[in-house]
C-alpha cells in the first residue's frame, strides 16, 4: 500500500497496448485525436499553462512550417473514447524557440496540470527522451525506426527490436528517534536547496540494499526499520523513484561525503519552518517525491518515528 499520494503516480489513460499492433487503426485514431506537441524538451501550452492539444491538421501545419525537424508520432492511449497521441520533434532554431512562452517544461507545469494531463505529459516526456537517444541499433550500429505506435524501435538492418528502459532509484526520508529528519545538499543544486537522500539501484541490489548503501555513502548514517512509502515515475530522463523512510542508528555521526553531498542538517519541524522563513533553506519542487515525503513528515505531528 502506498503511504504517500504522489502527483506523478497515477495512470491517467488506458494505454490500449493491443492497438499498437494495428497501424491502420492507429492511423484512423490519429485523424480525430488530441495531440500533444513536445518539442526540444518542452510542451506546447495555452496562455494559462494548460496543455495545448493539437488536431491532426494543426500538427500537419507545424510539420510543414519548417520550424521543427522531423519528429516521432507516439500513441499514448484512450480515455472516454478519445485517442491521445504526442508528436515529438526538435526546434530547428533552438535559440529563438527558447524565447517562446507557449512552450514550457514539465518542471514548470507540473504543479498545475490535471491528473489526465500529468499522466499524458509524463508518458510523452519519458518515451520521447528514449526515442531521441536510441536512434541507432545497439547490435549493428545502423539506424532504428519507431514502431508499434512508438512503444519500441526496430533496426532497419537486422530487424531487432529495442524497448525503452526505466532506471530504478530509491529516495529516503531519514529520521531519528526524536522525529527529526536529516536532509542533505548537493553541490550542483541551487543555493540553499536541501532534500532527501537518493541514488540509483546498482546491478544485483535490492531496493533495501540500495537504501542502506546510498544513505551510508552520502551521510555516514546506518539505518533500521526501512519502510516503503510509494513510487512515481521521474522522466528526467527515465527513472522510477521508490520512496522509503528509515530510522538512523547513529544520528550523531552524520557527515557529508564531501563529493556529492556538501552539507547535512538535522531538522525539527520548528527548525525547518524557521529556516524557510529566514531563507537559509529551500525545499525541492512540489511535484517531486522528496517534497511530498518532507511535507508528509511535516504535517504528521504525531508521526511514529519508530515505525
Asked whether residue 199 falls in the same domain as residue 249, the answer is: yes
Residue 159 lies in a domain: no
Mean pLDDT of the chain: 92
**pLDDT over 60 (residue 43):** yes
Residue pair 38/235 in contact by the 8 Å Cβ criterion? no
- Give residue 97's pLDDT: 93
Residue 6 lies in a domain: no
Asked whether residue 76 falls in the same domain as residue 181, the answer is: no
Confidence label for 287 from pLDDT (cuts 50, 70 and 90): confident
Q: For residue range 235-246, list pLDDT tens digits in order.
A: 988 899 999 999
Order across the sheet with 103-104: list the strands. Answer: 72-79, 82-89, 34-39, 42-44, 103-104
Residue 304 lies in a domain: no
Asked whether residue 70 falls in the same domain as residue 23, the answer is: yes
| Count of structural domains within the chain | 2
Asked whether residue 126 falls in the same domain as residue 235, the answer is: no
- Give residue 5's pLDDT: 76
- Give residue 8's pLDDT: 74
**pLDDT over 50 (residue 258):** yes
Residue pair 145/171 in contact by the 8 Å Cβ criterion? no
d(CA 104, CA 259): 33
Residue pair 85/91 in contact by the 8 Å Cβ criterion? no
Q: For residue range 161-209, list pLDDT tens digits in order.
A: 999 989 999 999 999 999 999 999 999 999 999 999 999 999 999 999 9
- Give residue 213's pLDDT: 98
**pLDDT over 90 (residue 142):** yes
Give the CATH number for residue 122. 3.90.79
Asked whether residue 188 falls in the same domain as residue 66, the answer is: no
Q: What percent of the chain has pLDDT over 90?
A: 83
Angular region, 49: left φ>0, alpha ψ -120 to 50, beta rest: left
Residue 250 lies in a domain: yes
Asked whether residue 107 falls in the same domain as residue 60, the answer is: yes
Which of 109, 133, 157 is a domain's end point? 133
Residue 260 lies in a domain: yes
- Give residue 2's pLDDT: 65
Residue 191 lies in a domain: yes
- Give residue 33's pLDDT: 98
The cell for 246 is 528509515
Residue pair 250/177 in contact by the 8 Å Cβ criterion? no
Residue pair 192/282 in contact by the 8 Å Cβ criterion? yes
Residue 86's domain spans which residues?
A: 17-133
Q: Which long-range contacts (CB under 8 A, 24 or more apart) does 214-217 make?
A: 214/170, 214/172, 215/172, 215/174, 215/246, 217/257
Helix axes 56-64, 23-32, angle to 10 degrees: 90
Residue 142 lies in a domain: no
Asked whether residue 174 falls in the same domain as residue 291, the answer is: yes
Asked whether residue 172 falls in the same domain as residue 114, the answer is: no
Residue pair 54/35 in contact by the 8 Å Cβ criterion? yes
Q: For residue range 263-286, list pLDDT tens digits in order.
A: 999 999 999 999 999 999 999 988
Q: How far is CA 107 from CA 61, 76, 137, 233, in A?
A: 27, 20, 31, 13
Q: For residue range 96-109, list pLDDT tens digits in order.
A: 999 999 999 998 99
Asked whether residue 172 falls in the same domain as residue 293, the answer is: yes
Residue 107 lies in a domain: yes
pLDDT (mean) for 40-48: 93
pLDDT (mean) for 252-256: 97
Q: How far is CA 175 from CA 76, 165, 227, in A?
A: 39, 32, 12
Asked whether residue 90 falls in the same domain as residue 172, the answer is: no
Amino acid at each position: 500500500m502506498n503511504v504517500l499520494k504522489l502527483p506523478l503516480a497515477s495512470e491517467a489513460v488506458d494505454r490500449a497496448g493491443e492497438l499498437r499492433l494495428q497501424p491502420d487503426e492507429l492511423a484512423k485514431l490519429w485523424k480525430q485525436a488530441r495531440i500533444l506537441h513536445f518539442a526540444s524538451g518542452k510542451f506546447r501550452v495555452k496562455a494559462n499553462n494548460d496543455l495545448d492539444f493539437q488536431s491532426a491538421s494543426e500538427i500537419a501545419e507545424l510539420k510543414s512550417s519548417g520550424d521543427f525537424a522531423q519528429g516521432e508520432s507516439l500513441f499514448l492511449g484512450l480515455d472516454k473514447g478519445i485517442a491521445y497521441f504526442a508528436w515529438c520533434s526538435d526546434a530547428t532554431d533552438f535559440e529563438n524557440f527558447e524565447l517562446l512562452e507557449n512552450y514550457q517544461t514539465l518542471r514548470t507545469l507540473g504543479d498545475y496540470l490535471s491528473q489526465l494531463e500529468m499522466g499524458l505529459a509524463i508518458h510523452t516526456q519519458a518515451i520521447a527522451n528514449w526515442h531521441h537517444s536510441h536512434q541507432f541499433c545497439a547490435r549493428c550500429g545502423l539506424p532504428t525506426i519507431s514502431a508499434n505506435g512508438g512503444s519500441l524501435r526496430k533496426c532497419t538492418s537486422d530487424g531487432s527490436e529495442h524497448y525503452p528502459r526505466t532506471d530504478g532509484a530509491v529516495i529516503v526520508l531519514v529520521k531519528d528517534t526524536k522525529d527529526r529528519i536529516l536532509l542533505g545538499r548537493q553541490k550542483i543544486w541551487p543555493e540553499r536547496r536541501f532534500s532527501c537522500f537518493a541514488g540509483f539501484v546498482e546491478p544485483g541490489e535490492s531496493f533495501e540494499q540500495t537504501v542502506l548503501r546510498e544513505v551510508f555513502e552520502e551521510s555516514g548514517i546506518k539505518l533500521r526499520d526501512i519502510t516503503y512509502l510509494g513510487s512515481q515515475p521521474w522522466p528526467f530522463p527515465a527513472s522510477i523513484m521508490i520512496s522509503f523512510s528509515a530510522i538512523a542508528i547513529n544520528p550523531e555521526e552524520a557527515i557529508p561525503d564531501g563529493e556529492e553531498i556538501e552539507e547535512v542538517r538535522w531538522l525539527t519541524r520548528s527548525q525547518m519552518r524557521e529556516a524557510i522563513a529566514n531563507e537559509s533553506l529551500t525545499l525541492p519542487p512540489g511535484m517531486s517525491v522528496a517534497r511530498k515525503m518532507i511535507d508528509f513528515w511535516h504535517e504528521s505531528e504525531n508521526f511514529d518515528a519508530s515505525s
